[in-house]
Amino acid sequence: MALTLDLSGRVVLVTGASRGIGKALAEGLAQAGATVAVHYHQNREVAERLAAQLGRDAQAFGADLADVAACQRLFEEVLAVYGRLDVLINNAGVAIGIELQASPEVWLRAWEQTLAVNLRAAALLCHLAIAQFLRQGGGRIINIASRAAFRGDTPEYMAYAASKGGLVALTRSIARSPKLGRAGIRAFVVAPGFTRTDMAQDFIDRYGPAIALGDLALERLTEPQDLVPLVVLLASGMADHATGCTIDVNAGSYVH
C-alpha cells in the first residue's frame, strides 16, 4: 500500500480556520491537495486572504456558530458551492473564563455561549455531515477536542472542559455505530494540550507561563503545525481503522 497522502478532489470544511490551529490545518490540507472551505466568524478579510493563498478553489464562509440557523446556512452554502463534502473538521472553539464568585446570570451566560459554540454547533454540523455522507457513500469527521476533556481544567474553565468532554463522547458515539461505520463514515478526536494560539495566550496571561510549560515532557510548547500531519493522515483515509480513537498532542503533559 502506497503511503502517499493525496487529498486531491476532496472537499474539507474547517471551522475556525482564519487563525491558530484551524489556519494551520487549512494550509496543510491544501498542501496535500484538498479543497478547503475556510470558515470564519468575524475575520472575513483574513479568511478571504487565506482562501486565496490556499488555491484549489478554496473559499471563505462566514458564520456565527453560536447561532443555530447560521450553522445550518454554513453547511448549506458549502454544499451549494462544492456539491459535496468529504471531511468535516470541527475546530472552532471558545474558552470563556468564569470567576467562581460570578453571579448565576453571568455564569449561565458564559456556559451557554461555550456549549453553543464548542458542542452544539459541532454536533449540528456532525448531524448535517452524516446525512450528506450517507447520501454520497461515506466521509470523515475530525473533532478537535482538548486534553481538558480528560484531565479537567481550572475552576474558571469548567465550561470549556465540559464542552470538550461532550465532543469526545459525541465522536465516539458516531464512530462505534455499525450503521454509520459500514456506510463509510469515520470519526476521530485530536486532543491538543496547550498550543501556541491566541486562546492559549489569554490563559497564560491569566495564570502565568508556568501553567503551560511546567508539565511538558518536551522542550517546547506545541505549535499549531504540530497537529497538521496527524489531521492530514486521518483525513486521507489511511487510518480508518482508528475510527473512534483520540490522538493526544500535548507534549507528554497528559497521557490517558
Q: What is the pLDDT of residues 90-132, one digit of tens each?
A: 999 999 999 999 999 999 999 999 999 999 999 999 999 999 9
Edge-to-edge order in the sheet of strand 87-90: 59-62, 35-40, 11-14, 87-90, 139-144, 185-192, 246-249
Q: What is the largest CA-CA distance in the chain?
A: 58
Residues 46, 18 contacting (CB under 8 angstroms)? yes
160 tagged catalytic: yes
Burial of 179 (0-12, 13-18, 19+ CB in 10 A): exposed
Between CA 251 and CA 254, with CA 191 as vertex, the angle to 5 degrees is 45
DSSP 135-181: HHT-EEEEEE--THHHH---GGGHHHHHHHHHHHHHHHHHHT-HHHH
Residue 61: name the closest of 25, 16, 94 by CA: 16
Q: Is the pLDDT of residue 240 over 70?
A: yes
Q: Is the pLDDT of residue 81 over 90?
A: yes
For range 238-243, the mean pLDDT:
97
C-alpha cell, 243: 475510527
pLDDT at 75: 98
For range 121-147, the mean pLDDT:
98
Which pLDDT band, with edges at 50, 70 and 90, does 174 fall under? very high
Q: Is the pLDDT of residue 1 over 60?
A: no
* DSSP assigned state of 117: I
Q: Is the pLDDT of residue 89 over 70?
A: yes
For 12: left if phi > 0, alpha if psi spans -120 to 50, otherwise beta; the answer is: beta
Residue range 33-67, pLDDT digits in tens: 999 999 999 999 999 999 999 999 999 999 999 99
Residue written as cell 469527521? 141
Q: In order of start, what are the domains of the chain with their CATH numbers?
A: 11-249 (3.40.50.720)
Residues near 237 by beta carbon (within 8 Å), at least 6 away in sequence: 140, 186
pLDDT at 205: 73
Q: Per DSSP, what are the bridge partners of residue 190?
A: 144, 247
C-alpha cell, 200: 492559549
Tell me the C-alpha to C-alpha distance, in Å, between residue 171 and each of 15, 36, 106, 145, 230: 16, 22, 30, 10, 17
pLDDT at 101: 94
List 157, 160, 207, 254, catalytic entry? 160
For 58: left if phi > 0, alpha if psi spans -120 to 50, otherwise beta; the answer is: beta
Q: Is the pLDDT of residue 20 over 60?
A: yes
Residue range 180-233, pLDDT digits in tens: 999 999 999 999 998 888 777 776 777 676 666 778 889 888 999 999 999 999
What residue spans of the chain are helical by DSSP H? 20-31, 44-54, 68-82, 104-115, 121-136, 148-151, 158-175, 178-181, 198-207, 210-213, 228-236
